[in-house]
Amino acid sequence: MNLRKELTNFLNLCFIFSGAFMFWKGLSIITNSESPIVVVLSGSMEPAFHRGDVLFLWNKNKYNNIGDIVVYEVEHRQIPIVHRVLREHKNRKGEQFLLTKGDNNNGNDIPLYAPGKKYLQKSTDILGTVKGFLPQVGYVTIWVSENKNNAYLFYGLMAIAALFFNN
């Protein structure tokens, strides 16, 4: 039992977590998006995006072009949605309104929006525009987050690895 060694290990763990947090927040500032990297959860954009694909977002653009794939959030729904811009309208005040649709869905997204809402507003509703794509790498997060046992297994393995291989 060596208290100093154990404290050092704990400190190293703290460094890793704070480093990851700093990286995430730094990326957030650069891209101007709340969550610059997202994992696809639904199949509504198949065959372009499948469950578990990782998307890189950018949100410094003032307007979206037609055909852009955007990530937006709806009030009272936790999970952001990744869909394609079907129509865009810019008015004289400089606001842009978007109508979206999933490639794999039959109809547009109006039923998904908040009640009474017919368009998304670029400045307030859009989390980011998809710029880059990495396939299937995010499946681990789905695997962990969708089943309690998997989550315990995952964190247990992490803990064992941390105990053994701390040098």
- Which residues in this chain contact another protein in the complex, by CB under 8 A? 1, 47-49, 65-69, 84, 86-92, 94, 97, 103, 107-108, 110, 118-119, 130-135, 163-165, 167
Closest separation between CB of residue 148 and another protein, Å?
Answer: 27
Please identify, using beta-carbon distances, which residue of 69 and 81 lies nearer to another protein: 69
Question: Does 42 qualify as catalytic in the annotation?
Answer: no
Please identify, using beta-carbon distances, which residue of 147 and 159 lies nearer to another protein: 159
Closest separation between CB of residue 131 and another protein, Å?
Answer: 6
Over the range 79-106, which residues count as b (16 or more CB within 10 Å of their CB) and which as e?
A: ebbbbbbeebeeeeeeebebbbbbeebe
Nearest to 82 by CA among 123, 106, 48: 48
Please identify, using beta-carbon distances, which residue of 91 and 149 lies nearer to another protein: 91
Catalytic residue among 33, 53, 109, 125: 109
Question: Does 44 qualify as catalytic in the annotation?
Answer: yes
Nearest to 55 by CA among 144, 129, 5, 130: 130
Catalytic residue among 33, 44, 53, 125: 44
Task: List, in sequence order, every beta strand (DSSP E) within 17-152.
Answer: 37-39, 54-58, 69-72, 81-90, 96-101, 120-121, 126-134
Question: Does 83 qualify as catalytic in the annotation?
Answer: yes
Among all residues, which ones are annotated catalytic? 44, 83, 109
